A and B are shown apart, each in its own frame.
Chain A
Amino acid sequence: MISSQELIDIAEKVKLYEPEALTRLFDLYFEKLRRYMYYKTGSLERAEDLAAETLTKGIESIGSFKDRGGTIGAWLFGIGRNLLAREREAAGKAEMVELEKEFPVEEDEQPERVVLVKLSNEELYQALSRLPDEQREVVLLRFMEGYDARTVGEIMGRKPGAVRALQFRAVQALKDMFEPGGVEA
């Protein structure tokens, strides 16, 4: 787990475009952003592009970033979210996206491992895919990325109370899906 101080240092060095800091920022956030983008877009390829684009936009506008104690990650997620919103607005698409029917697995995985991975991820993936977009986003940011309600609120442009309400509804909905007779993967 990276410390807040380390994140502050990285942000300061990124402001100077120090190559090592740029690389470190990419390594720290590309995968997180890609996963977030995947759950938002349902496309692995698009998720990769959007994650890289978010990081690129981030270093272009790093001068405007004001650190409030290791908050560069939340700031990047905010950029990514805006990027997606603008893209959807341009395409005239609704917020809700359809995820792929099955959770994607590596093609070169061994057959038994593929089944195992599909079993393990499929249930949660299917459950998440059925959540409304904002609830899914809260689950991703709160539980997968580990941000607190206040930070998630900053990323989503919502108040912490609204985030907690979305989180409550999301977790309730997940519970319903896992209930016997509920929507199973």
Chain B
Amino acid sequence: MSKNASRRDIRSFERRLRDLPRGESHTDRDAQPELESSLLGMLVSGGPELPAARRMDSLKATYVEHGTSLREQAIGSDAAVARPASVPRVRTRHVLARVAAVATVIVALLVGLGFGSAYAMPGNPLYSVKLAAESAYLSLVPGDQNKADAYASYTSRRLNELKYVEERGMSKWYYSLANDAQGGIEDTYGHGKRLRAGAAQKVTEKAQALTLRMEELLGGALGEMTPAQKASVESGLQRIRLQLRMRKGNPSGPSQQNGQPGNQNGQRNGT
């Protein structure tokens, strides 16, 4: 903007200002655009000119020299590429932070889902989540004692669920729950028999108690299974009784005499 033009614009601005309404009715809506437009026209493209900077050349030279030394330092310390590369590093950190945040949310959701599903019963959409969580937990539990306890605990849950579905006549669940419970009893016993005598005996007793409870619960349910399902469950129970050396209706078997549960091919007592 030339100085003549600048002066002309200022005069024009002043005239416009004088023509504008004043007082209470002078609102932002009616006055500002014109005022701003005048001011913009007067100031844009440089506005009032200052006298030329006297030391601009020397300041510029110092600045460029400083920039050059920064460049050399960066190259020397491998940060030249580190400076620009610091941006990707920052980005990488941001990406990692986002991934961590997403992972945290997912874990929180899974944990929440796990807790939420802990009381889910057959027929509930979360029931499959409950089974998956149990399965995941079982795969992580260390040691036979812990695994035996976990299997016993989950078998007990299956039996509670069996009672639940029987009370509600949800017959389609009978076989799968019975099957799961039988598998749980066998796994309980399977881990228990690897333990020392006293601990093994306790696990066997737990398995025997679970078997007895299952037999009680299955009373009515067996009649509503298909013949093949019924045969499968009955043969499974027979197999378990053999493993646990149980006589029907009596959890105490000969295995207690020596304090050791029988093995898979063990002697047959009872049934």
By a beta-carbon cutoff of 8 Å, the part of chain A in contact with chain B is: 12, 15-19, 22-23, 26, 30-31, 34-35, 38, 44, 47-49, 51-52, 55-56, 59-60, 62-63, 103-106, 113, 116-117, 119-121, 123-125, 139, 143-144, 146, 167-168, 171-172, 174-175, 178-180
Contact = CB atoms under 8 A, between A and B. Distances in A.
A51 to B, nearest CB: 8
Nearest to B82: A63
B213 to A, nearest CB: 66
Given A16-B84, A144-B44, A168-B28, A120 B68 contact: no
Closest CB pairs A-B (n = 10): A17-B71, A120-B7, A52-B59, A121-B48, A22-B67, A144-B47, A143-B43, A178-B17, A171-B35, A120-B6
Contacts of A125: 48
B67 A59 contact: yes
A34 B52 CA distance: 10
B207 to A, nearest CB: 64
Contacts of B59: 30, 48-49, 51-52
Contacts of B39: 139, 143, 171, 174
B135 interface: no
Contacts, number: 139
A63 B87 contact: yes
A60 B67 CA distance: 8
Contact of A19 (B36, B44, B67, B87): B67
A16 B87 CA distance: 12
A178 B80 CA distance: 54
B53 A30 contact: yes
Nearest to B32: A168
A156 to B, nearest CB: 18
Contacts of B4: 116, 120
A171 B36 contact: yes
A103 B48 CA distance: 9
Given A104-B51, A144-B44, A17 B80 contact: yes
A180 B15 CA distance: 11
Interface string B11-23: 0011001101010
16 contacts: A15-B83, A22-B64, A44-B53, A51-B59, A106-B52, A113-B3, A119-B7, A120-B3, A120-B6, A123-B14, A143-B40, A143-B42, A168-B28, A174-B35, A178-B14, A179-B18
B60 interface: yes
Given A116-B4, A143-B39, 12 more contacts: A12-B84, A16-B83, A16-B84, A19-B67, A22-B68, A52-B60, A59-B66, A59-B67, A120-B4, A121-B6, A171-B35, A178-B17
